[in-house]
């Protein structure tokens, strides 16, 4: 009996010591006080090199020279759009798992096209009613923001900021302290939705009261440097650029007061001043929320959206595009200097990347003798419908979107058709269309792993139930866009190759040329912050960033 009692007492003592030694500490393991994630919308990697000699020392150059430059970073899925890009950066996985397969897609369940941040159960707070029915409810996976909030509940703070609602909402995750976006429809204020709060915090109200958006539009958009110095760009007037409303030529100076009198304050988003406003609001968030002020790490997700609007309108080689990046460089330098003073030079960590790249304008490519072409999904849908109608009667296609064909399953069943035969016939037709170099049916995408990189990117971006019945592969240089400006969305390098810069807290200095996936960012942050990986993360931590 004494032996049994002795054993029991020994076990109890051991369990007690075990419990004490594994009691979670209320203080985190040493980590940066503030992580700032910066996503530059539509930033190709080569913009770092092309404008390098025009950048000042305190912005992009400071991050490249004083941090780690992963210069061969790519997206590993398609389509390369804003919504999927932001979700992938912060979740560490691809659309096949986080569910944001595009900016918009057809929902079979709701029988309509839906938007990636749409949530009709919530409403606007602090802005136009049409700009407020948004939340992260369509994001299926957790992200680094969620895991940080779970690791240090009521201690760590998470804030998302962007001109675009999806650029703020998807990075901030499911349970942030706030996500704020720009009301370009009426007020020019920063706003949110009832998903997050019933009323704007006082610091947001105070910032909005300054009316900065309207003030920025009181002067024309002039070039930062003498226009003759923009030697990295095409001439000011070319056939590659789209006009602002009221303009007769796409040239400097752009009369913002006159244009905004017609378009409203939303014009700001399509100028580099939208990035400046975002930077100023990010500073206000740091002060208003007291980010980076204690030992518990906070996260600020900032997306600079105006670069995307400018790129879409003027293309990749316009003086407007170059001027936007030179001005963003100034904003970045100012912001880093602010972080030095507000948080402490060695106390914060910044990563900078993009949500996708951008293609050359098709007219520009033709002038440079590069094969190219334009297409329209609605035109392709009409041609495919006409081809199938003699065989199947009424149209059995719901839509063609995001380079995918959605068939009407109810009609196919009512006609007693074999779905595989229907899809195969559609693929045979699509392969006759100019610019199409391949097409894959959903069952093949889901059931195979591919050694061919393009096919694997299609698989990584494909989610049964949300995606279509077949996926179309276009030739390089083919764009679903007009003859002016540009777009993105493909699996080619011009859309997947983006910057990945790391700067600040214990970041090694150097350059990596090894292939890195954008989905590696969130797992790397998990290790740095000593918190769990996002629940669907498929990326891998970058070893060089963990050595210190």
CB half-sphere exposure, 482, CA atoms < 13 A: 10
Other CB atoms within a 10 A radius of the CB of residue 336 amount to: 20
Catalytic option among 80, 82, 238, 271: 82
Phi-psi region of 338 (alpha: psi -120 to 50; beta: other; left: phi over 0): alpha
**Tokens (6 digits) for 109:** 């369940």
Residues 138, 142, 147, 148, CA torsion sign: negative
**Helix, coil or strand: residue 470:** strand
User: Tokens 């090694």, residue?
Assistant: 508
Tokens of 209: 């009261």
DSSP 134: B
Burial of 63 (0-12, 13-18, 19+ CB in 10 A): buried
**Dihedral over alpha carbons 434, 440, 442, 444 (to 10 degrees):** 170
Q: What is the DSSP string of 259-317?
A: HHHHH-GGGGGGSTHHHHHHHHHHHHHHHHTTTT-SSS-EEEEEEE-HHHHHHHHH-SS
Hey, what's the torsion of the CAs at 391, 393, 399, 404, to 10 degrees? -10
- Separation of alpha carbons 166 and 354, rounded Å: 14
Task: Provide CB contacts within 8 A for 209, sequence distance 6+.
Answer: none
Q: Please tell me the number of Cα atoms within 13 Å of 493 on its side-chain side.
A: 6
Q: Centre a 10 Å sphere on the Cβ of residue 181 and count the other Cβ atoms it contains.
A: 27
Q: What share of the chain is helix, strand, coil (3-state, %, to 5)?
A: 40, 15, 45
Closest CA to 278 of 318, 324, 221, 323: 324
DSSP letter string over 1-52? -HHHHHHHHHHHHHHHHHHHHTPPPSSPPS--SEEEEEEETT--THHHHHTG
Q: Rounded to an integer, what distance in angstroms lies between the CA atom of residue 321 and that of residue 50?
A: 12
Q: What are phi and psi of 79, to 5 degrees?
A: -90, 150
Radius of gyration of the chain (CA): 25
Q: How far apart are CA 347 and CA 160, in angstroms?
A: 20
- The CA dihedral of 477, 480, 483, 485, to the nearest 10 degrees, is -90
For this structure, is 82 an active site residue?
A: yes
How far, in Å, CA of 87 to CA of 214, rounded? Answer: 31
Catalytic residue positions, numbered: 82
């Amino acid at each position: 009996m004494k032996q049994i009692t002795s054993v029991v007492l020994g076990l109890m003592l051991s369990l007690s010591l075990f419990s004490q030694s594994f009691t979670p500490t209320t203080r985190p393991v040493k980590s940066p006080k503030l992580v700032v994630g910066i996503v530059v919308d539509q930033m190709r990697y080569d913009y770092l090199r092309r404008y390098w000699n025009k950048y000042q020392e305190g912005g992009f150059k400071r991050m490249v020279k004083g941090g780690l430059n992963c210069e061969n970073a790519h997206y590993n899925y398609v389509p390369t759009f804003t919504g999927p890009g932001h979700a992938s950066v912060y979740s560490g996985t691809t659309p096949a798992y986080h569910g944001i397969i595009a900016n918009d897609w057809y929902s079979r369940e709701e029988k309509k096209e839906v938007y990636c941040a749409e949530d009709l159960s919530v409403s606007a707070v602090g802005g136009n009613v049409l700009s407020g029915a948004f939340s992260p409810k369509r994001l299926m996976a957790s992200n680094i923001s969620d895991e940080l909030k779970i690791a240090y509940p009521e201690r760590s703070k998470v804030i998302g900021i962007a001109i675009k609602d999806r650029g703020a909402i998807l990075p901030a995750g499911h349970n942030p302290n706030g996500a704020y976006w720009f009301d370009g429809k009426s007020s020019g204020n920063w706003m949110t939705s009832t998903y997050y709060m019933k009323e704007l915090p006082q610091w947001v109200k105070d910032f909005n009261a300054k009316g900065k958006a309207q003030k920025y539009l009181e002067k024309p958009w002039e070039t930062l440097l003498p226009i003759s110095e923009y030697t990295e760009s095409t001439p000011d007037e070319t056939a590659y650029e789209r006009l602002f409303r009221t303009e007769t030529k796409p040239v400097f100076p752009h009369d913002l007061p006159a244009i905004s009198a017609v378009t409203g304050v939303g014009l700001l988003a399509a100028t580099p001043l939208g990035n400046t406003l975002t930077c100023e609001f990010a500073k206000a968030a740091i002060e208003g929320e007291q980010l980076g002020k204690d030992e518990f790490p906070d996260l600020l997700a900032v997306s600079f959206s105006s670069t995307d609007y400018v790129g879409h309108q003027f293309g990749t080689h316009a003086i407007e595009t170059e001027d936007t990046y030179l001005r963003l460089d100034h904003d970045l330098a100012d912001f880093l200097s602010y972080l030095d003073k507000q948080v402490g030079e060695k106390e914060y960590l910044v990563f900078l990347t993009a949500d996708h790249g951008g293609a050359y304008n098709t007219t520009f490519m033709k002038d440079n003798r590069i094969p190219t072409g334009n297409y329209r999904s609605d035109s392709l849908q009409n041609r495919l419908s006409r081809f199938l109608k003699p065989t199947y009667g009424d149209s059995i296609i719901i839509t063609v979107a995001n380079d995918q064909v959605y068939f009407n399953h109810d009609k196919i069943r009512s006609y007693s058709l074999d779905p595989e035969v229907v899809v195969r016939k559609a693929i045979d037709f699509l392969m006759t269309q100019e610019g199409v170099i391949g097409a894959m049916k959903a069952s093949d995408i889901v059931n195979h792993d591919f050694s061919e990189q393009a096919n694997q990117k299609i698989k990584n971006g494909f989610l049964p139930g949300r995606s279509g019945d077949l996926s179309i592969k276009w030739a390089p240089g083919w764009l679903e866009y007009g003859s002016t400006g540009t777009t993105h969305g493909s699996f080619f390098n011009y859309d997947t190759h983006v910057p990945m810069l790391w700067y600040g807290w214990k970041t090694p200095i150097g350059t990596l040329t090894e292939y890195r996936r954008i989905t590696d960012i969130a797992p790397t942050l998990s290790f740095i912050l000593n918190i769990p990986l996002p629940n669907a993360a498929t990326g891998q931590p970058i070893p060089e960033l963990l050595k210190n």
